[in-house]
């Protein structure tokens, strides 16, 4: 419930923030200002500070997007979106995207460290679609058959790992795409393993 004694605009800001945070998004002051047509971030900051002072929001210290709902986030993980990963031909990652989501850890089989936005359709038979956010746990190791985020010649792709006695292949899950054969001496590394996904919208 939104307290009845809140000024109407502050109540609207609180309702907006509750909706965004419940959906796993932690908006910035600039985004709050844009949503309400404020001329500057200062107006948004005044509302946020007042809501924090009244205990209607909480702030995670040291986080740029650290707003959260009070008392109910024990199972939420703050996950940054670090860029894009190809479900198709490898693409470069846009490291440093300024976006973060608070997501229920129970959405993921493993605990992810970050999110990547999928571009392409090579993994659709595994239910990984263009535009999905995939959770990735950082690790340089993976088992045969796991879905991994791999770096090939400096670019990232998400594929199923196939380890053979003499070769490594990265397998798509769409017959329209060919496997990626990792050649001896080629720049190749496993960046992490797939933990699960979130479909925005």
Catalytic positions = 122, 159
Give yes or no for a contact between 7 and 51, defined as CB atoms under 8 angstroms apart. Answer: no
Give yes or no for a contact between 174 and 124, defined as CB atoms under 8 angstroms apart. Answer: yes
Q: At what angle do helices 41-53 and 29-36 cross, to 10 degrees?
A: 110
User: How many Å is the maximal CA-CA distance in the chain?
Assistant: 70
Q: What's the Cα-to-Cα distance from 43 to each of 38, 48, 50, 57, 172, rounded to whole Å?
A: 6, 9, 11, 17, 49
Structure tokens at 60: 């995670």
Q: HEC string of 56-72?
A: CCEECCCCCCCEECCCC
Give yes or no for a contact between 105 and 198, defined as CB atoms under 8 angstroms apart. Answer: no
Q: Report how far apart the first and last C-alpha atoms of the chain are (Å, whole number).
A: 25
Distance of CA 128 to the CA centre of its chain: 14
């Amino acid at each position: 419930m939104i307290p009845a004694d809140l000024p109407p605009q502050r109540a609207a800001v609180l309702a907006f923030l509750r909706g965004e945070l419940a959906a796993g998004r932690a908006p910035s002051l600039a985004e709050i200002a844009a949503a309400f047509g404020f001329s500057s971030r200062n107006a948004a900051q005044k509302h946020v500070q007042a809501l924090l002072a009244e205990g209607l929001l909480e702030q995670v210290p040291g986080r740029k997007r650290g707003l959260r709902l009070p008392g109910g986030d024990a199972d939420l993980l703050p996950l940054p979106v670090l860029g894009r990963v190809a479900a198709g031909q490898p693409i470069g990652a846009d490291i440093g995207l300024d976006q973060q989501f608070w997501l229920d850890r129970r959405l993921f089989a493993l605990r992810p460290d970050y999110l990547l936005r999928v571009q392409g359709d090579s993994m659709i038979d595994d239910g990984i679609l263009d535009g999905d956010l995939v959770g990735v746990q950082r690790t340089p190791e993976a088992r045969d058959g796991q879905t991994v985020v791999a770096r090939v010649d400096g670019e990232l792709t998400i594929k199923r790992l196939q380890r053979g006695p003499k070769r490594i292949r990265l397998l798509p899950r769409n017959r329209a795409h060919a496997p990626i054969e990792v050649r001896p001496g080629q720049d190749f590394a496993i960046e992490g393993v797939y933990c699960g996904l979130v479909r925005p919208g």
